[in-house]
A and B are shown apart, each in its own frame.
Chain A
């Protein structure tokens, strides 16, 4: 219930929210957990395995129990820590992992079965009968497991990512972090201060501490005011530094609007990349529990969490509170409770020599050995060894000592080091380059010590940055020493939990050791200890101690605990922000895009580009009809197609020819100016990389064309060859793909079309087949190439892209007048298959020049990329599958791409597969399907009938092996 006090809640701003359908009121500044506690709610969740009732256990992101689902519909967010979620007006929270309700959960039957469900039980059973695993056991297990549920609806909220840079990143804003930030900021360093909480100050917000004789919070406010006033400081609250990566890169997740009822255009979360020259890790420490029997009742919580609720939120989590600890935190908690007017049922300190204040029902050298209260704590049993006493209490605060929050120091593989005095792991030296742990994160637990260490760490960082700290005094604060007597487990009747969420008990760890899972990694994996949503923040050290005990080793010999990113879970939406829908990759549009859309063309992806599939017309029976029509345009009249997506690389320099001779397997130094040649490029491993035409525009000037898909790869390859393999060649290249809009004008009437368009008619002598040169269109300088990918008399014309849209419209209009029109990718594909021209369907990465019948293009007279490797015996010869044409024996026969080829009388098995189909189409010119494919020793098997089998689509057909050129094999149309 709420008590008086000056916490960080705003009592003038009441906030109404709901939990499991019931409406409650809290105040601005409350978390869901503090507001529920204030309303007397203790039961907040169910455990993962045994579905045990659980209450809130901590006051931070490490909370293992009070996980809830917040929001509805697409906004439904599972596994929200009630201890982190700030309440806002109208917030709807629901409990999870229970059915039908939190208080009556049928699966709590698991708890009764727990003797049979111990560590690793599932590895030993559910094996018979075999088919029952997928059908019965697994579905039941899956339904019982899991925590909250995703809504199943697309996450339509806004998220973003951002970059930040600084000299010094300070992680955490307790006394060490604030002092470090202040020291560095005053010295002029560029500082970013990240605080996971919604308020800066760390533990100072949760303790009755004083600094310089005033409440510590006053000091916090003064420091913040100064930091806020400095231009070289960036304050980031609600920001969890989630990971430390190489060269001073840090990931951080900022909860921008998760605490708002209406985020507007704000992102819910921003994932930050922070590049920091230095980092002070002032992340504090986490209090750890003690594994005593039945320590998981709702109402049992960490003592530090209780003090947070008391001081920061002005909430007493119980009416009669007991305290149990192995360090002075217990006494402090009892005193704070008393000061707040809360009844202290008992103060139990495990240390026989502990000095306990008077006026409490105090037990020295005692332990809590049992508790009662299934749905909420009712009593505890205290044992002094000689006597036992049952004490009524509805809340028990536990302190087992502190573990430095050193997680980030482990992210680069360093292992923390055990400290016997503190009974805790400390960060290893130089664990992350540039990171300096400070304060509680390195085992300094007094306020004065933290202030001093924060300043020390900042000075160390400043020195590395070449900056000088200004002299300043340290504020005065408590320097109470920290003494702890390790207490990991309390023996007794009943289970003692280590990992609360995953229901891992002391017994489970002992059983793992008994089964020889003695390595800490084995124990973790076998018991699932530390694999819950807190990733062992609460329990790893305790479990390690239990394992050490069970295996008769010390803690350091048993192993260390380590942590991987992220420090706290990160939503996929935040880390993948911007990629939803089309945001995954840039979209590239040609200048003809709008015109193609206007003509109703379905657009398909070609790499990052969009190209028209076909151009439907009213009355078409389907895409095939449109495709056939467009093929007809090109074969009989003239067709127009935007080919701007092909890569165009401008290559210039005195050594341009020599360079091209090296990157192409055929020769380009012999190409005449004003002429174009087909070129084949190999990878250094001897297989085909890409193909395309290359035009010689001048003596030292070439224009290379790549396929759409490989443009980027080829550019990178050319840069590599030029910079790394042939640095002596004076050549440079630049992509001009974007500058030119280029259109194919193909078909017997292409010349007529161009003659009507160009400022001067096409000069046959300047533009023979494979000729190129400059022309003008309406006064605009353009380039004309007499090349063909259709087998027809054809050209490609290129203009600066600003004129692309206009030219395309003009070309299509003129083509239509001539009985032709625009053609799309479907028709383009048919046209090229009919001619046996290859694309990446054929040069799919595993084919050699030999395979596609171009072995002789690999010039014997010069070196080139891939030549040496292509001479390996396995890359040519009759065992290779080589390019062939295929036509069905029966005209209606289908030749689906992806089918395999077999000798006619062999069954279709792997051993018998002799090839496969790569490209197929219905040839309107021939009236049946045709295909390209690869067949073992194919070129020598022309005329042979082979069996084509496509199991997937139920096709088995006979086809005749033929030349891959189906139409106009001598190329008369192209050249004429």
Chain B
């Protein structure tokens, strides 16, 4: 697998490490009800198809990335900086 880091270009899988669903960016408020925290921490859509997940360019520029990817074909459709995605989500919330 090769992932295109927005900074470093296309790099081999071995430079990256994986975290999981990009829903990790949507951290509930501290006082959110327990169910919301449970869903955030544990429940997953786990789609067989297109998913968005978090990768870390660990052996590279240390950027956290949101990769849009197909879990059945391993096709990669997009790769964005997690920082940008998170900031955009905040803008949208306001």
Contacts and interface: CB of A to CB of B under 8 A. Distances in A.
Interface of A: 163, 245-249, 273, 275, 412, 433, 684-685, 716, 719-720, 723-725, 727-728, 863, 867-869, 871-872
A566 B57 CA distance: 28
B12 A716 contact: no
Contact of B25 (A248, A412, A724): A724
Given A246-B1, A247-B1, A724 B64 contact: yes
Contacts of A273: 12
Interface string B54-86: 101010001110000000011110000111011
Given A249-B13, A275-B10, A872-B34, 4 more contacts: A163-B12, A724-B54, A727-B86, A727-B90
A783 B54 CA distance: 38
Interface string B27-43: 11110101001000100
A723 B25 CA distance: 10
Nearest to A865: B27
A449 to B, nearest CB: 31
B2 A720 contact: no
Contacts of A727: 83, 86-87, 90
Contacts of A872: 34
Given A716-B56, A720-B19, A872-B34, A728 B90 contact: yes
B37 A868 contact: yes
A270 to B, nearest CB: 17
Contact of A724 (B10, B13, B28, B83): B83
Given A716-B56, A720-B64, A723-B86, A868 B1 contact: no
A640 B86 CA distance: 46
A867 B2 contact: no
Contacts of B74: 246-247, 412
Contacts, number: 72
Contacts of A863: 29-30
A868 B27 CA distance: 11
B12 A249 contact: yes
A684 B25 CA distance: 12
7 smallest CB-CB distances across A and B, nearest first, come from A863-B30, A247-B2, A246-B1, A724-B82, A246-B74, A723-B83, A723-B64
Given A246-B74, A249-B12, A724 B24 contact: yes
A726 to B, nearest CB: 9
16 contacts: A246-B2, A248-B2, A275-B12, A719-B64, A720-B54, A723-B83, A724-B54, A724-B64, A724-B83, A724-B85, A725-B25, A725-B86, A727-B83, A727-B90, A863-B30, A868-B28
Contacts of B63: 723
A433 B70 CA distance: 14
A763 B76 CA distance: 59
B5 to A, nearest CB: 13
B36 to A, nearest CB: 9
Given A720-B56, A724-B54, A863-B30, A412 B73 contact: yes
A719 B57 CA distance: 11
A444 B63 CA distance: 48
A684 B41 CA distance: 8
Contacts of A724: 24-25, 54, 64, 82-83, 85-86
Contacts of B75: 433
Contacts of A245: 1
Nearest to B37: A868
Nearest to A862: B30
Given A247-B2, A249-B12, A725-B25, A869 B30 contact: no
A867 B27 CA distance: 12
Nearest to B57: A719
Contacts of B24: 724
Nearest to B28: A868
A277 to B, nearest CB: 10
A872 B29 CA distance: 16
Contacts of A275: 2, 10, 12
B18 to A, nearest CB: 11
Contacts of B17: 716
A845 B71 CA distance: 29
A312 B12 CA distance: 40
Contacts of B83: 723-724, 727
Nearest to B66: A724
A412 B72 CA distance: 10
A95 to B, nearest CB: 41
A275 B13 CA distance: 12
Nearest to B24: A724
A538 B63 CA distance: 48
Contacts of B76: 247
A728 B64 contact: no
A719 B62 contact: yes
A724 B54 CA distance: 10
Contacts of B56: 716, 719-720
Contacts of A249: 1-2, 12-13
Name the residue in A273, A723, A869 with the highest tally of chain B Cβ atoms < 10 Å from its Cβ.
Answer: A723
A273 B2 CA distance: 12
Contacts of B54: 720, 724
B25 to A, nearest CB: 5
Nearest to A277: B10
A700 B19 CA distance: 30
Contact of A716 (B41, B58, B81): B58
Contacts of B34: 868, 871-872
Nearest to B75: A433
Nearest to B56: A716
Contact of B41 (A163, A433, A685, A867): A685
Nearest to B88: A727
Nearest to B27: A725
A249 B1 CA distance: 7
A163 B62 CA distance: 22
B59 to A, nearest CB: 11
A684 B63 CA distance: 20
A869 B82 contact: no
A401 B25 CA distance: 57
A869 B17 CA distance: 24
Contacts of B2: 246-249, 275
Contacts of A684: 41
B37 A869 contact: yes
A491 to B, nearest CB: 44
Contacts of A868: 28, 30, 32, 34, 37
Nearest to B29: A863
A868 B28 CA distance: 9
A869 B56 CA distance: 24
Contacts of B25: 724-725
Contacts of A720: 19, 54, 56, 64, 82
A267 B52 CA distance: 41
